[in-house]
Structure formats: C-alpha cells, structure tokens
Amino acid sequence: MKNLETLIQELCPDGVEFVKLGDVGTFYGGLSGKSKADFTDGNAKFVTYMNVYSNPALNTDIKDFVKIEEGEKQNKVLYGDVLFTGSSETPNECGMTSVLTEKTEEDLYLNSFCFGYRFNDIDVVNPGFMKHLFRSHMLRKALAKTASGVTRFNVSKKKVAKIEIPLPPIEMQNEIVRILDKFTSLEAELETELEAELDCRKRQYEYYRDKLLSFDNVGGQEVEWKKIGEFCDTLSGFPFDSSKFQTSGIKLMRGKNVKRGYFDFNEDDDRYWESSDGLEKYLLQDKDIIISMDGSLVGKSFAMLSKKHLPLLLVQRVARVRAKGVNQNYLFHNIAHRFSGYVDKKKTGGAIPHVSMKDIQNFSIPVPSLQEQERIANILDRFESLNTSLQSGLPAEITARRQQYEHYRDKLLTFKRKGAA
C-alpha cells in the first residue's frame, strides 16, 4: 500500500481541487407533516437529532420509529449522505454533522430538526473521509459562520452551499481514512477498557444501593413515600441570551455539562455571564443536585455539585433540586436508584426527549427517619466516591487521545489548493 506522501506526489503534485458544496451535491429536508402520535407507534426508523449531533459516523443501531404511510413522500437517508443539525443555542454548536458510512437494507428517515446533503457522484467520495473532514476544525469554523440568531441560532443552507471543501482523489481519501480510523479505534479501545473497570465499580455500588433503598419497612414500621416537590426546593434555569455570552465571568451550567454522575466542563466550550446581579436565585450551591431536562440521556444525566465547580449560574432546560428536611445525599442516591425508570415512563417522544419540572417534582422516594437516611447515605457515599474518582479521570484520558487524533486529523486534511501560487 502506498503511503500518503507518495500518493500526493503521484496524483496531485500541484495541489488538491476545492469544490463548493452547492456545485457537487444537493440538500434535502427532514421529516415533514408529522405529529406527536406518528412517533408513538411507528413502522420506519428515523435518525434523531442527538444521533447526528453526537456521532461523526451515524449510529445505525436505531431504536426510534416514525409512522410512514404507503406511498408517502418523505426524504430517505442514503449511503454517503452528510446530515446536519439545523439549530442550536450557540453558533459553534450549529451544523454538527454525521455521515452514513455503511449501507443499510432498511429505509432511514431524518428528524425535522436536521437536514441532509447528498453528493451527486458518490463514486468520487469515501463517506469515511467526509466523516473526518466535516468534524475538522476547518469545516467546523466554516459551518459556525453559516448560523444566525439571537436566543437560538439556525444554519443557512444557502451559506452552507457556498462552503468549499477539498476533494482529493479517492485513493488519497482511502489512505487518510485508514490512518484516522486507526486513531479513533485506539481511542475506542481505551474507552472500553476504562469503562469496563468503571462498570465493575458501578455494579458493586448499585448492588448495595438497591439492597439498602429497596425497602417497604424499617424496624417493622412502614416507610412513607413522598414526592420530592413536597420537601425540595426545585428550580429550572434562566433563559440567558446566548448572543450575550462572555468568555469570562460566572460560568453557566448548561445541559451538555451534565453527564451520568459527573459534570464535564471544557475551557474551549464553556460559556459565561458577566455577573449574577439580579440572578441570585439561579446561583448554584454546594451539593445541589443538577438534572438535565432534555436530550437522548434524559433521566440518566444528573449529578451532585461540589464546591470546586462553583460559582455557577443555572441555564434553562436544566433543573436544580435542593432538599429541605431530608438528607441531600440520601436524596441523590434515590434519584440514582429510581429516576431513570420513572422518566422513561414520563418523557415526551419525538426528536429530542424531554422531562418537565412537574415530572421532576412528582418523583417519589421513601423517606425513613433522618437517622436512617444518614446511615444509608454514609454507606453509599463511600462506594460513590470510588466511582467518582475513576469517572473523573476517564474523560481526561479519553480527551488526551482525542486531542492527538484531532491534531493529526487537521494536519492530514490541510491541503495545498490546486492553482494556488
């Protein structure tokens, strides 16, 4: 197999051709004319917003369905198509892409919050190459410039059509895909190993958690069940104007920062507000329980704050739960134990699953004596601390590998333009 340098010298010694997307392909829209009922008993698979947002290569293990009538005219997603998210709360998150890199036997449809792009000649394109290219810093920067808005930003297809991309010979595309896929494969292996260790610790914690919290009575006395809205101060975040976000000030707690049991902040992606003046009620405190209210992992994305995260301001579509008269740690372990199953029955369907503040307030837990709450919480806290120590290190290890991949990706995808001086 010839290496990339040799291929460049043989196939394009004078540079690589750059083409406008509008000249080599066409855009199409997602599902149209659908109601909520069409997503409750569907007969055809559809690609969700989060599938596009989260995966450079589309995840084809699809569990989401929509009702499609015989003869109904809807655009289908085909092999090699590039899918774009159409809007987001910040320009930098607009136009996230996912490419269908494998052929599927079943028809696939696209959610209405995204749009698709299809190359006119798929034979000159390696979908794997486009998977890496459209997530490169060069293309992400260009796509961010196509978005406009105030509180929510929308991508302009007309502007996207004017974006130029390098289109090297297919042999070069294939070699670049081979190199970059090796990096992502190594990252995936590391992630699998670390997550296996984390899974073992989680299983141990969950065993004792379920044993301690699955009770009908304590000391022969029935335990009362209460809705957390009865004994908790609950709050949904403030609708900050994203056009006024700052690069310094008080950091904002957004839904994307809330993971499964921990928080993920990134200096390159964090958003700030100038001050908390007039917004004091949205300032978060140590041990506040934070719950993301929408997204593919709704019901699973929650964590407890510590002092190291503060100060923070709460953003809309994120909930804060603060117990009164109940042990906060005990409350958190109950949320970890029961909340996911509860939300699965309550969350709305459609492209972006959602849980309401009322649903959160109606979530019930057993409330034994405060002494018993503290006993249970102390036991489970010890197991949880072991999980947290490993889980906080997991993103750091993966980030280091990802940065290495991104360095070589951007280097390999930077081409001399044909005809340039």
Residue matched to tokens 């995840």? 59
The reply to whether 119 and 95 lie within a common domain is: yes
Q: How many Cβ atoms are within 10 Å of 168's Cβ, its own excluded?
A: 24
Q: With respect to residue 70, please indicate whether it lies within any of the assigned structural domains.
A: yes
Q: Above 70 in pLDDT, residue 414? A: yes
- Neighbouring residues of 240: CB distance < 8 A, sequence distance ≥ 6: 252, 273, 313, 315, 316
Look at residue 220 in the predicted model and tell me its pLDDT. 46
CATH number of the domain residue 272 falls in: 3.90.220.20
- How far is the C-alpha of 110 from the C-alpha of 92, rounded, in Å? 22
Q: Looking at the predicted structure, is the pLDDT value of residue 347 above 60?
A: yes
| 362 lies in some domain | yes
Q: Does some domain include residue 2? A: no
- Average pLDDT, stretch 146-173? 91
pLDDT (0 to 100) of residue 221: 53
Last residue of a domain, one of 167, 196, 213: 167
pLDDT surpasses 70 at 349? no
> What stretch of H or E contains 115?
strand 114-119
Structural domain harbouring 124: 18-167
Residue 276, in any domain of the structure:
yes
Q: How many structural domains compose the chain?
A: 3
**Could you please report the per-residue DSSP string of 239-305?**
---GGG-BSSSEEEE-GGGB-BSSB---TTT--EES--TT-GGGB--TT-EEEE-BSTTTTT-EEE-
- Domain co-membership, 27 together with 155: yes
pLDDT higher at 190 or 350: 190
Which range among 189-193, 300-304, 311-315, 376-380 shows the weakest confidence by mean pLDDT?
A: 189-193
| pLDDT at residue number 353 | 80
The per-residue DSSP string of 68-79 comes to --TT---PBP-T
Which has more confidence, 393 or 309? 309
Segment 290-296 shows an average pLDDT of 88
Q: What is the mean pLDDT of the chain?
A: 87
Asked, for residue 1, whether it belongs to a domain, the answer is no
Token pair of 372, please? 């018993």
DSSP state of 309: G
For residue 298, pLDDT over 90 is answered with: no
The pLDDT confidence band at residue 91, using thresholds 50, 70 and 90, is: confident
Residue 392: band (very low, low, confident or very high) from pLDDT cuts 50, 70, 90: low
Domain final position from 127, 143, 167: 167
| Distance (Å) of CA 67 to CA 36, 38, 51, 208, 245 | 10, 5, 19, 42, 40
With tokens 């978005």, the residue in question is 147
Percent of the chain with pLDDT over 70: 93
Q: Are residues 396 and 334 in the same domain?
A: no
- With bands split at pLDDT 50, 70 and 90, how would you rate the model's confidence at 354? confident
Do 312 and 415 have their domain in common?
no
Considering the domain boundaries, does residue 373 fall inside one?
A: no
Check residue 113 and give its pLDDT.
Answer: 92
Same domain, 197 and 228: no
Tens of pLDDT, residues 16-43: 999 999 999 999 999 999 998 999 889 9
Whether 98 and 200 map to the same domain: the answer is: no
Q: Where are the alpha helices (DSSP H) in 105-147?
A: 127-133, 137-144
User: Which letter does DSSP use for residue 38 in this model?
Assistant: G
Tokens 């994305």 -> residue: 301
CB proximity list for 336: less than 8 A, separation 6 or greater? 209, 261, 302
Other CB atoms closer than 10 Å to residue 339's CB: what's the count? 21
Residues 138 and 201 in one domain: no
Average pLDDT over residues 77-98: 90
What are the tokens at 143? 């796509």
301-308: average pLDDT? 91
Residue 9 lies in a domain: no
Grade residue 110 by pLDDT with cuts at 50, 70 and 90.
very high
Residues 386 and 356 in one domain: no
Q: What is the pLDDT of residues 196-254, one digit of tens each?
A: 777 777 787 777 777 777 765 444 457 889 999 999 999 999 999 988 898 889 999 99
Mean pLDDT in residue range 273-298: 91
Answer yes or no: is 272 within a domain.
yes
The reported pLDDT for the residue numbered 379 is 85
User: What is the pLDDT at residue 13?
Assistant: 86
Q: Is residue 235 domain-shared with residue 187, that is, in the same domain?
A: no
What pLDDT score was predicted for residue 2?
A: 63
Give the range with max mean pLDDT: 284-288, 349-353, 365-369.
284-288
- Tell me: do 190 and 217 sit in the same domain: yes
| Residues 205 and 238 occupy one common structural domain | no
Cis peptide before 368 (omega within 30 of 0): no
Model confidence band, residue 395 (pLDDT cutoffs 50, 70, 90): low
One domain for residues 214 and 163? no
